[in-house]
Every structure is written in structure tokens, then in C-alpha cells.
Amino acid sequence: MAVVTIREALNQALREEMQRDENVFLMGEEVAEYQGAYKVTKGLLQELGAKRVIDTPITELGFAGLGVGAAMVGLRPIVEFMTFNFSILATDQIINSAAKMLYMSGGQFNIPIVFRGPGGSAYQVSSQHSQALESWFAYFPGLKVVMPSTPADAKGLLKASIRDDDPVIFIEQERMYGIKGEVSDDPDFVIPLGVADIKREGTDATIVARSLMVPVALKAADALQEEGVSCEVVDLRTIRPLDIETIIKSVQKTNRVVIAEESHPFCGVAAEISSEITERAFDYLDAPVKRVSGADVPMPYAKNLEDLAVPTVDQIVAAVREVAYLD
Amino acid sequence: MAKPNYEMRKRTPEPSRVGADETSATGVMDQESPETDAATNAAPEQTTGELKAAQKSRLADLDRETLIDIYHQMLLARRFEEKAAEAYSGGKIGGFCHLYIGQEAVAIGAISAIRRDDYVLTSYREHAHAIAKGMSPESVMAELFGKATGCSKGKGGSMHMFDKEVGFLGGHAIVAGQIPLATGVAFASKYKGTDQVTLCFFGEAAVNQGAFHESLNMAQLWKVPCIYICENNQYGMGTSLERAMSSHDISQKSCAYDIAAEFVDGMDVLAVREATLRAVERARKDYLPTLLEVRTYRFMGHSMSDPGNYRTRAEIERHQERDPIKLFSASLKEEGVLSDSEFQEIEAQVKEQVEKAVKFAEESPLPDPKELYTDVYASPINTQRD
């Protein structure tokens, strides 16, 4: 065990899996000579060589599709998007090719590929460089969607994603690369996909969170504990397939639930979870399910406006107080 | 940086524009004109006589068995699709059904130039490519019929044929979607150090997509063994090349990427084969990509529901005089490769193959309803749902 940042944990996962399997290669913009726009791929070119760590032109649709094609014939590409904002250019290949190939080929061509990179809100880069896209990708059967919130999860989930035989959308959080935590150095340390994690146990209310909202929810839980409210924080870790059972069990225990997310509320992951809870655990609810989502606007540049667009500790505290009828 | 290598480019007449006012906005031709053919200004068409003379000169280089096999494949593709059209009209085949009739020389000529372990990817107009790559007419017809025995278990249909065993990697229905994929398949061959090559077929309308340009750039930048075969049938659905492309000379677009290119008359199956063989050699030996512009013509509509109001009957008939199967059978006959009775024999064999395919498709079961939920994930994760 060593204490490392999320950035370093991801770097370890990439290095270990590339050393383990010759068929794994990494491609993307600035991943090799520049050492990664966010330094996640630091040192990999030097250690693994230019055949395995490939700088691409700025051509997202092209290299995403190239990766899917390579995956059709046995390679296991890791395609880095410098940020997930640019994956929007590649969505035809991600959705129409990667997600559907196995199905429309009658089970003949699975696509073992990882599309990874930072997503979610960044710092003051305005609308096109700061957005949460997981609900887009999670919509499609055939894709798996993963969002870690700690260094250990980042490493274990990325290793599992690279070993997975299906296309995985692996969204790191741009603001979280520097977060530190203990990480295993066991080369076979993997965290299975599709399993949520209870980051804090509690009895009075459940806060369902993912990615950046996990540390925010944990701070909210600390604040609420001081008021005598015990919150359970469920970290989804994998968005699709969704570990709904863990959420339902928590709701059955606490009877109150707040779902926190960075993304826009409309057609979002929280809306889906809310619907599932209503269908499966309606009788256990002592209050309506409450969502805390990012503002339903493109991300603004001005610091004060940006702060208003991303959910805060105070907003989550207020939402829990609301479902607990404390006001 | 090496100087651009344009030696492979056989002919590149000066591209010129035809004024937009020469065709109507709807594509309906007001009057017939011998010059209305969309791409004639990019590279002039050979006359039927020139075409035949050129083909005969190529005939001598090939053994009889290969010639017969090529002819058989072309005729099989034609008769298979005529039968598919009939089945479509009879309600046996659903959805879209894009026929290849008129273009057979392209797929069959090109695929005759590669090995079984090489790869082929193409668009949604792919029945002939699938069969030429070695898929059984039964599995293709059953897929069209939406049956469990289809090559994609009835989940892909006309536009998504696949067969891993013979290296047929689809059947892709977003225009140009297969071009980055094929580039990746070829990339993988180089990565693994094999000498397998990839043929990537697409229509000329795909050339206007970003995916084409992004792929050719990467292919030459990284030197991957992919052969890009543009089947220029001169119409993207109902829109002529003239109305959609600012520069009509497709092979010339290779200059932007410093990639070798060649223009081929796609009505001559042997010309297509020869050009592909040259490209295959470059790909196998040196991992070099090539762009082939193969001029062809689609005799049928874009799909079975095409109203066909964007081109004249006379234009279609003029191209039908250059029918690649008629041309090839005449060459074979005139050069004494096949006798009348041998032609009849092949026709009978093909008829039997097609009838067998239809019978197989008709008698096959529908997919089991349980198949709805299979093949979504290779490693499904049980999240304890019901």
C-alpha cells in the first residue's frame, strides 16, 4: 500500500495492464511525447515504446473508429480523449460501432476497448470544456460506464475496464486528479465493474453520488452528523450496469434518499435512479426522492457563476434536511 | 519527408466543374443529354469497344480456372440479388435492401485479388462482397429473411452481414463508418506483424464525410496495409456526385494525404483485379495504403423504395450496355475460354445455388425470442436485477 494521487493510480493501472498484455496499446492526443495533457500517461512512452503509446493527430472520430476496428481483430485499445468534451466528435464510432457491433454481428465481434479521459466540470473553461456526459453514454446498451472517485477505485476499476471484453467509457474527473489515497500495489488488484461502494455507513438518509459528488457528499455527511443526522453515502462507481440493489438496500434502511450529480438534471442518471427507487422501494420511502444536479445551463466562465452551476456541500445538506423534514 | 509518390496515379485529367444550373434541384432531369452523367468530366468513360479490348488484353494473363471462378461469382451475385429483390417484393425481406446490380465487377474483381485470411469491410450494399469473401449464399439469404441461421443470427439484416471465419467484418450502415474501422483492422495487422491486408469498400458519397479524410491521413501517416476502394457509382442515394462534390476527381483527393492512388474502370472485372493486386502487393510488402477510385454504376435504385426520379432511363440504359457481366461473358466467349454449353452449365449451377439459399432461408426458424437479450455484452455483469 502506498499513498498516491488519482493521476498516479491511473498511471499505475495503465502501466501494469500494458506490461501484462502485449495486445493492450494506448492512443490519443499528446499521450506520448508530451506525457499526457494531464500527465496521466507520464513515462509510458519511455517504458513501453512508440509502438504501444501512440500520439494521434487531432482526429477524434478517426482514432476512435480506428481503435474499434483494431479491437475487432484481437487488440485491446485504450483510447484517451484529452477531455471527454472531444468525445462528442467520436460518438458515431462509440455508439454506432463499439456499442452495437457484438449485437448486430450476432455475437461474433466483441469490442474490448476503453475510452478514457477527464470529464465533468473543470475550472473556468466555460461551456465547451466543462460538462458531464455520462448520461449520454449510459443510455446505450452495449456500453459500460465507469466513474471512479478515489485513487484505489481509479486503479482497480481501470484495470478491470482494460481486462473487460466490452467497450468501457471510463470518465475521470478533471478536478480530482490530485486527490490522494492508499492504493494497492498488487498487480492483480482489480475492482469488479457493476458494484457500488458504500463510502460511509449511516442510518437516517442515503446520499447517492458518483465522481466529484462523492467527496462533496462525504463533506455534507460530516456536516449533517454534527446536527445528529446519520447519512449513508453510496458511490455508484459504475453507472452502467447500475448496481441498483445496493441503492435499494440502503433506501430500505434509511427511507430517505438524495441523489447528487454534476450533470444536468434532464434525462440524467439521477432521474433514472429516482425512477428505479420509486418502482422498487416506494413503500419504504418516507419522503419524495430528491435530486441535486448541476444547473440546467451551459457551464459559464465567471467564477461566481460557475460556482453556482456545480452542486455544493450546502445544497446537499439542504436536500437531506428537506427529505428528513428538518426545516 | 519524401516527395509525394504519385506514380501509382494512372490518369488524372484536370478536374473541372459543371455548373449547378445544368441539373435541377430535385434531380429530375428535364431533358436527356449525353453529358448528364455525373462524373464524366472528371475522367472520360471508355467506349464499350475500348473497354472490351482492354479486358481481352488482360484475359491472357489468367488461367482458365480463375476466369471461370470470377465469372461464376459475378453471376451468382447478380442472380442472388435478383432473387432477393423478388423476395423483398413478396414481403419475405424487410427494412432496407440495397442492391448491387451493375457493380459486381468491383467487389468480385477486388476480392479475387486477396487471400482468405485477409479482411473485408464495406457499407450496407454488401451482399455480393459477403458472398465473394466466402460466406455461403444460404447464410446471407437467411440473414435477409431475418432467420436464426443467418450470418448474424437475424440481428443484423441486409446492412449488417458478418462472418469472422472468412474475415468479412461487416456490413456498416452509417456512410463512411467502416473507413476508420478498416483502418484499425489494418493497423492491427501491422501491430501484430502479420502480412494480412484489409479491403475497405465505400461509395463516392462517403468521400464527403470527415471519416474518410481522417482515416486516409492516419493510414499514410502510420503506413497501414489498407486498400480504400471507392465504388464511384455516381449517386449518393438520389444526389449525383456533381451536386455533392466540389472536385469530382476522387483519386486526386489522395494528393492531400500523399497516398498512392489509381483510377479504374469498374465495369472491367479484370481491371479491378489487377489494380487491387498492385495495391495488395504494396500493402503486404511495405504496409502501404492505396486509394482506388473505381468508376461503376448502379442499375437499380438506391434501395428497393427508390422512386428513381433523379436520372433518365436513357442514362441507365447507356450504362447497361457496359454491363460488367455481359462484357466479361462476351470476352470469355470471344476468346474461346467458355463454350455456350459451359455458360449454360454455370448458369444452371448458379440457379441451383440461389434456389438452395432461398429454400434454406424459408425453412429456417425465426430467432428464439430469448435471443433479444443475448449478444449485448460479451461479459455481462449481473447486477442482481430480476
Residues A235-248, mean pLDDT to the nearest whole number = 98
- CB of B217 within 8 Å of any CB in chain A? yes
- The whole-angstrom distance between A69's CA and the closest CA on chain B is 4
pTM of the entire structure? 0.93
- The whole-angstrom distance between B149's CA and the closest CA on chain A is 10
For residue B378, pLDDT over 60 is answered with yes
**Cell (9 digits) for A7:** 493521476
**Cell (9 digits) for A95:** 455508439
Mutate to test the interface with B, among A21, A27, A68, A72 (most CBs of B within 10 A): A72
Beta-sheet pairing, A205-209 with A231-235: parallel
| Residues of chain B positioned with their CB less than 8 A from the CB of A24 | none
ipTM over 0.90: yes
DSSP letters for A176-189: TTT-EEEE---TT-
Mutate to test the interface with B, among A68, A76, A105 (most CBs of B within 10 A): A105
For residue B385, pLDDT over 50 is answered with no
CB contact under 8 A, A106 and B172: no
Q: Write the pLDDT tens digit of every residue in A141-171.
A: 999 999 999 999 999 999 999 999 999 999 9
CB contact under 8 A, B160 and A243: no
pLDDT over 90 percentage in chain A: 99
| Residues of chain A positioned with their CB less than 8 A from the CB of B385 | 244-245
At B44 the pLDDT is 80
For residue B282, give the H/E element and its range: helix B269-286
Name the pLDDT band for B42 (thresholds 50, 70, 90): low
Name the pLDDT band for B304 (thresholds 50, 70, 90): confident
- Strand (E) positions, chain B? 119-122, 168-171, 198-203, 226-232, 235-236, 239-240, 260-265, 290-295
| Residues of chain B positioned with their CB less than 8 A from the CB of A73 | 119, 169, 185, 188-189
- The whole-angstrom distance between B180's CA and the closest CA on chain A is 5
- The whole-angstrom distance between B19's CA and the closest CA on chain A is 33
Residue of A nearest to B383 (CA): A243
Residues B104-113, mean pLDDT to the nearest whole number = 98
Pick from B46-60, B186-200, B305-319 the range whose average pLDDT is largest: B186-200
Q: Which residues contact B326 (CB under 8 A, 6 or more apart)?
A: none
Q: Write the pLDDT tens digit of every residue in A84-122.
A: 999 999 999 999 999 999 999 999 999 999 999 999 999
- Interface size A-B, in CB pairs within 8 Å, comes to 163
DSSP letters for B297-349: --SS-SSTT---TTS-HHHHHHHHTT-HHHHHHHHHHHTTSS-HHHHHHHHHH
Q: What is the rounded CA–CA span in Å between residue A236 and residue A31?
A: 28
Q: What is the rounded CA–CA span in Å between residue A84 and residue A175?
A: 13
In this structure, are residues A219 and A280 in contact, taking their beta carbons and an 8 Å threshold?
A: no
Q: Write the pLDDT tens digit of every residue in A268-315.
A: 999 999 999 999 999 999 999 999 999 999 999 999 999 999 999 999
| Residues of chain B positioned with their CB less than 8 A from the CB of A193 | 381
Q: Write the pLDDT tens digit of every residue in B147-172.
A: 999 999 999 999 999 999 999 999 99
Residue A206 main-chain phi, psi, to 5 deg: -105, 135
For residue B254, pLDDT over 70 is answered with yes
Give the closest of A74, A107, A112 to B153, CB-based: A107
Cβ-in-10-Å burial (0-12, 13-18, 19+) of B225 comes to: buried
Q: What is the rounded CA–CA span in Å between residue B232 and residue B298?
A: 9
For residue B27, pLDDT over 90 is answered with no
Q: Which A residues, 28 through 47, put their C-beta within 8 Å of a C-beta on chain B?
A: none
From A315, A313, A310, A234, select the one nearest A277 (Cα to Cα).
A234
For residue B30, pLDDT over 50 is answered with no
Q: What is the rounded CA–CA span in Å between residue B220 and residue B215?
A: 9
Alpha helix segments (H runs only) across chain A: 6-20, 44-48, 60-72, 91, 101-104, 134-138, 151-163, 213-226, 244-254, 269-281, 303-309, 313-323
CB contact under 8 A, A68 and B170: no
At B10 the pLDDT is 46
At B384 the pLDDT is 52
CB contact under 8 A, A57 and B218: yes
Mutate to test the interface with A, among B120, B135, B139, B162 (most CBs of A within 10 A): B162
Q: Write the pLDDT tens digit of every residue in A129-142.
A: 999 999 999 999 99
What angle do the packed helices B340-363 and B137-144 form, to 10 degrees?
50
CB contact under 8 A, A102 and B375: yes
Ramachandran region of residue A142, left (φ > 0), alpha (ψ -120 to 50) or beta? left
In this structure, are residues A40 and A12 in contact, taking their beta carbons and an 8 Å threshold?
A: no
At A205, the amino acid letter reads A
Give the closest of A96, A101, A245 to B174, CB-based: A96
pLDDT over 90 percentage in chain B: 83
Mean pLDDT computed over every residue of chain A: 98
Neighbour order of strands in the sheet with A257-260: A197-200, A231-235, A205-209, A257-260, A290-292
Residues A252-259, mean pLDDT to the nearest whole number = 98
CB contact under 8 A, A69 and B181: yes
At B79 the pLDDT is 98
For residue A196, pLDDT over 50 is answered with yes
For residue B12, pLDDT over 70 is answered with no
- Flag the least confident range among B32-41, B264-273, B289-298: B32-41
| Residues of chain B positioned with their CB less than 8 A from the CB of A191 | none
Name the pLDDT band for B2 (thresholds 50, 70, 90): very low
In this structure, are residues A174 and A83 in contact, taking their beta carbons and an 8 Å threshold?
A: yes
From A203, A263, A258, select the one nearest A239 (Cα to Cα).
A263
Q: Any bridge partners for residue A290, and if so which?
A: A258
CB atoms within 10 A of CB A296: 11
**Cell (9 digits) for B343:** 455458360
Residue A222 main-chain phi, psi, to 5 deg: -60, -45
At B3 the pLDDT is 43
Q: Which residue has the higher pLDDT, B13 or B70?
A: B70
At B306 the pLDDT is 85
For residue A202, pLDDT over 90 is answered with yes
In this structure, are residues B154 and B368 in contact, taking their beta carbons and an 8 Å threshold?
A: no
**Cell (9 digits) for A312:** 455544493
For residue A323, pLDDT over 60 is answered with yes
Three-state secondary structure of A230-289: CEEEEECCEEECCCHHHHHHHHHHHCCEEEECCCCCCCCHHHHHHHHHHHHHHHHCCCCC
Cβ-in-10-Å burial (0-12, 13-18, 19+) of B306 comes to: middle
- CB of B378 within 8 Å of any CB in chain A? yes
**Cell (9 digits) for B307:** 422512386
Residue B262 main-chain phi, psi, to 5 deg: -150, 145
At B308 the pLDDT is 83
At A197, the amino acid letter reads D
CB contact under 8 A, A66 and B184: yes
From B61, B182, B59, B313, select the one nearest A72 (Cα to Cα).
B182
Q: Which A residues, 237 through 276, put their C-beta within 8 Å of a C-beta on chain B?
A: 238, 241-245
In this structure, are residues A54 and A26 in contact, taking their beta carbons and an 8 Å threshold?
A: yes
